[in-house]
Structure 1
Amino acid sequence: MPRARPLVVTALLLAVLTAALVVLLRGNALGAGFLTGYAGCWALFATAVVALRRVPARAVVPLVLAGAVAVTAAGLVAAPHTSTDSYRYAWDGRVQAAGISPYDHAPADPALVRLRDEWLFPDPAVCAHGRDLAPLADGGCTRVNRPAVHTIYPPVAEGWFLLVHALSPADARHKALQTGAAVLSLAVTGLLVTVLRRRGDPRQAAFWAWCPAVPVEAVNNAHADVLAVLFSVAALAVVARRRVTGGILLGLAIAAKLLPVVLLPGALSGLRRPRMLLAVVVPAVTVVGMVYLPYVLLSDGSVLGYLGGYAQEEGYDDAGAGGRYALLRLVLPDAWAPPAVLLVMTAVTLAVWWRGDPEHPWRGALLTTGSAFLLLTPGYSWYALLLVALVSLDGRWEWLAVALAGAAAYLAGPVIGVACVTGAYGAAALMVGAGWWARRRGHHLTAAEQGGSEAPQPTTGPRPGQDAEAELHNGAG
């Protein structure tokens, strides 16, 4: 019975976490109120992960998978709660099914009136009373956000929207995209467990499988980021031994959500020969070009859509807007923030590429991705789904604080202001720094103990990448 106790305790914690997520998503709380409940779910998640450490090894994988199914399913209990992006996905799928490029027309364009239905374009009588409805010039309204601008999503994501539309019943509405996202989320869990059973600790898969960000952002809000996460994890899992395949998968990840481009330095860790570098980079670039080509041929306008306008809207071209570059603005003039980001990210990229461990490319990928988040301080919480998956691969749990900071910035930032963004990401940076210091101190203590015991040194050289792994893990964060 004592051996079974940790298993029972962990299972009970997962049950409570699942119930808390269901209550949270079916409730009416928004903004800071939702954030309070969400933080409680994160506390339960952290407790369950700690309890998992004492579960017998043979029970770990079944428990991680069972917990993943329960936690993921919690995201299906209600309509999208904190984001309207999935309504744009549904619209883009419908437009493509009609043989029209999603990059050519904004949802409000009168040329597409024949594709409108009552779900995405409600009766004008309810426009003044409905939640999250955007007004149209003709007096109507729509659930699709930013209806006056073209879509921003890359071609692999657009292909996913079309596939879900084609496979969905006529009255599926949001459930089709949520169900598809749940399948993708569980696929990520399965892939993480497979990789970590061979090259790590399968307990780490719980960082993704049980994280509240997955049922909330990947499933309930059905964000396409989960598709990019699946391709990203697959790419990093194989790139050390199959560089061309890894490059292809990384290209698909980038063409699903542009953010995974920050994984490239990690994928190139320790590959200093030009032939090795090109074996990854060329397939990635080729895939991006190939998946864009059909849309370029089909479209009358630019396939970049609203990308430039989005960057301006979010304040990435103006350090004084929207809470972007919040930490840098504490120590630098606003105008210096963008070049400072470029300088720091260049240094991090070179360090990861030159000193990284090719056998563990996710270690460098986590460093570059996490650094980008701390420098840019984005205001959307679902971007951090990629970071959560990288934490699962690498095990440095302190980086999860960055994901929680993104949620605080998104949910409470519009009410509290830039101070909320600065405080949330500042606390996350302190957590990451504390984790780095503790790991570095532990490494030095271990080295001192080994030196004091005068243990004989091995006569053979280190395995490939061992020195680089130690340097990056302990010296670069």
Structure 2
Amino acid sequence: MNRSLLLAGGALAALAAVLLRMAAGPPGLGWTLAAWALFAAALWLVRKVPERRLGTLVVAGGIVLAATGLAAPPSSSTDSFRYAWDGRVQAAGISPYDFPPADPALERLRDDWLFPAACGAPALWSLPGGGCTRINRPAEPTIYPPVAQGYFLLVHWLSPEGSRHKALQVGGWAMAVLTLAALCRFAGARRAAYWAWCPAVPIEAVNNAHVDMLGVLLVVAAFAAVRAGRARGALLGAAVAAKLLPATALPGALSGVLAHGVAWRRVLVTVVPAVLVAALSYVPYVLASGAAVVGYLPGYIAEERYDGAGHGNRYGVLRLLLPDSWAPYAAIALLGLVVLLVLRHGDADRPWQGALLVSGSLLLLFTPGYSWYALLVVALTALDGRVEWLGVALAAAVAYTAGPAAPGSLGTPFYAAAALAVLIGWAVRRSHAVEVRP
């Protein structure tokens, strides 16, 4: 066997051991950096290995690494507890948007897993009037959109009695492997390794079972499994209705529509199915809950300091360059410019390239402190091959494990370094394109 493959296999074995330790969590900054260093080492070791010899290592490594997330309960996020609760509430015939978990009207649905009798653990949330729960923000209604809610209900129906968090983790693992299969078939083993071996996948998609994985799978299916047209638009609409962040992939699907006037047919066959699928997914919940289907979204925007009332740990890179009060407006303006560039100059034959530019730029401009938001960037990087964008996912991981991504914390310099890496990558590729131009 090729020596590089053996060394890469050793790096992946070490990565698996680190991931198992992280799953037992919560993962600290040292373990996070170690995992990413081993990931980078494995990619470096196979850089000259012929692609035809990489397939087995990429697929087997991806399956095994993703499975490390199944080894323990969620290590650093309580979001999946809300997913399980939303599924249970819907199975009882109640809209998850109507009542928060703390509402006495849902008391009959509580059990000792999500509402333990002993309230001494620090990860538990207090209930108004006494008691505690594993569900975060128990006094607030759900924030998750309807396709996500359908997934939560499906997992609840399929879950054996007493499976608790495990069914959602298995669902995350299955979706991660399906995404890997699609990437291998469409982008090849070398690029698929960016997804298969990335530490964010076993930790966030599987161990913490974030529903972002559903949105990622739908986006990858939209770009890799179908051609431009109604099917792609429908899949992107479903992705947006699973987690709003995949809306950043829509400009990519419309790459170049402004190049020679507006390509109205492509706009219509993409946007109309996307809007219809997203809108139709809301219909049963709107009929049941009315305007309450917005859930906790307005409260979340205010809580995360995206509402202009204060900046908190957001806009970290821009705040290094601009006055704090300018940062939100600069972020919106720059993101709008990126979208316009994709619509005007994007490559219609490589729509994932524009989607990566928009989704990655969003994270660099707004510097969220949640590492699972970067799962979409990792998948799009695998589709496109511009490895420098993986720095955005690393920055998000550091921001989450080290603390808020604000000036003075490690999150901000890592996001700044990721932005610099992206700019350098762009400059190098542009220079190379000029040199080879006849």
Cα deviation, residue 57, structure 1: 3.0
> Which residue matches 1:156?
147
Equivalent residues of 1:320, 1:334 under 8 A apart: no
The partner residue of 1:253 within 219, 231, 239 is: 239
The partner residue of 2:100 within 106, 109, 113 is: 106
> Which residue matches 1:11?
9
Cα deviations by residue, 1:246-286 (Å, 9 ceiling, x for unpaired): 00000000000000111111100123311121110000000
**In structure 2, C-alpha distance between the alignment counterparts of 1:415 and 1:336, rounded to whole Å:** 17
Residue 305, structure 1, aligned to residue 295, structure 2: yes
Cα deviations by residue, 1:337-378 (Å, 9 ceiling, x for unpaired): 222222212211111011111111011111111111111111
Compared CA separation, residues 245 and 416, structure 1 to 2 (3 A): closer
Counterparts of 1:145-224 in structure 2, within 5 Å, are 145-196=136-187, 201-224=188-211
Cα deviation, residue 189, structure 1: 0.3
Seq. identity, %: 56
**In structure 2, C-alpha distance between the alignment counterparts of 1:218 and 1:120, rounded to whole Å:** 21
Unaligned runs of 5+ in 2: none
> Which residue matches 1:94?
88
Q: Which SS does the other structure have where 1:75 is aligned?
A: helix
Q: Which moved more, 1:321-330 or 1:167-176?
A: 321-330
Equivalent residues of 1:365, 1:390 under 8 A apart: yes
Residue 122, structure 1, aligned to residue 113, structure 2: no
Cα deviation, residue 9, structure 1: 2.0
Counterparts of 1:47-446 in structure 2, within 5 Å, are 47-123=41-117, 126-128=118-120, 130-196=121-187, 201-238=188-225, 241-271=227-257, 272-299=262-289, 301-318=291-308, 320-414=310-404, 419-446=409-436
Q: Which SS does the other structure have where 1:299 is aligned?
A: helix
Equivalent residues of 2:29, 2:401 under 8 A apart: yes
Give the letter for the 1:251 counterpart.
G
**In structure 1, C-alpha distance between the alignment counterparts of 2:195 and 2:265, rounded to whole Å:** 34
Compared CA separation, residues 300 and 277, structure 1 to 2 (3 A): closer
Cα deviation, residue 439, structure 1: 2.0
Cα deviation, residue 445, structure 1: 3.4
Cα deviation, residue 418, structure 1: 5.2
Q: Which SS does the other structure have where 1:327 is aligned?
A: helix
| Bigger Rg over Cα | 1
Give the letter for the 1:207 counterpart.
Y
Give the letter for the 2:217 counterpart.
L
Q: Which moved more, 1:411-420 or 1:209-218?
A: 411-420
Q: Which moved more, 1:178-187 or 1:9-18?
A: 9-18
Cα deviation, residue 202, structure 1: 2.8
Cα deviations by residue, 1:367-395 (Å, 9 ceiling, x for unpaired): 11111111111111100000000100011
Give the letter for the 1:439 counterpart.
R
Equivalent residues of 2:406, 2:412 under 8 A apart: no
Name the count of aligned residue pairs.
434
Give the letter for the 2:267 counterpart.
L
Q: Which moved more, 1:408-417 or 1:369-378?
A: 408-417
**In structure 1, C-alpha distance between the alignment counterparts of 2:414 and 2:44, rounded to whole Å:** 23
**In structure 2, C-alpha distance between the alignment counterparts of 1:279 and 1:327, rounded to whole Å:** 37
**In structure 2, C-alpha distance between the alignment counterparts of 1:119 and 1:417, rounded to whole Å:** 39
Give the letter for the 1:429 counterpart.
A
Unaligned runs of 5+ in 1: 452-477
Give the letter for the 2:233 counterpart.
G
Q: Which SS does the other structure have where 1:103 is aligned?
A: coil
Q: Give the alignment's TM-score, normalised by structure 2.
A: 0.95
Report the aligned-residue RMSD: 1.7
Equivalent residues of 2:405, 2:412 under 8 A apart: no
Cα deviation, residue 440, structure 1: 2.3
Cα deviations by residue, 1:91-126 (Å, 9 ceiling, x for unpaired): 000000000000000000000000000000000xx2
**In structure 2, C-alpha distance between the alignment counterparts of 1:287 and 1:89, rounded to whole Å:** 22
Cα deviations by residue, 1:5-42 (Å, 9 ceiling, x for unpaired): 22222222211211121122225x55xxx121011011
Compared CA separation, residues 414 and 327, structure 1 to 2 (3 A): closer
Q: Which SS does the other structure have where 1:83 is aligned?
A: coil
Give the letter for the 1:72 counterpart.
A
**In structure 2, C-alpha distance between the alignment counterparts of 1:283 and 1:227, rounded to whole Å:** 19
Q: Which SS does the other structure have where 2:292 is aligned?
A: coil
Q: Give the alignment's TM-score, normalised by structure 1.
A: 0.88
Equivalent residues of 2:316, 2:405 under 8 A apart: no
Equivalent residues of 1:206, 1:392 under 8 A apart: yes
Cα deviations by residue, 1:412-442 (Å, 9 ceiling, x for unpaired): 1249875333222111111212222222233
Cα deviation, residue 235, structure 1: 1.1
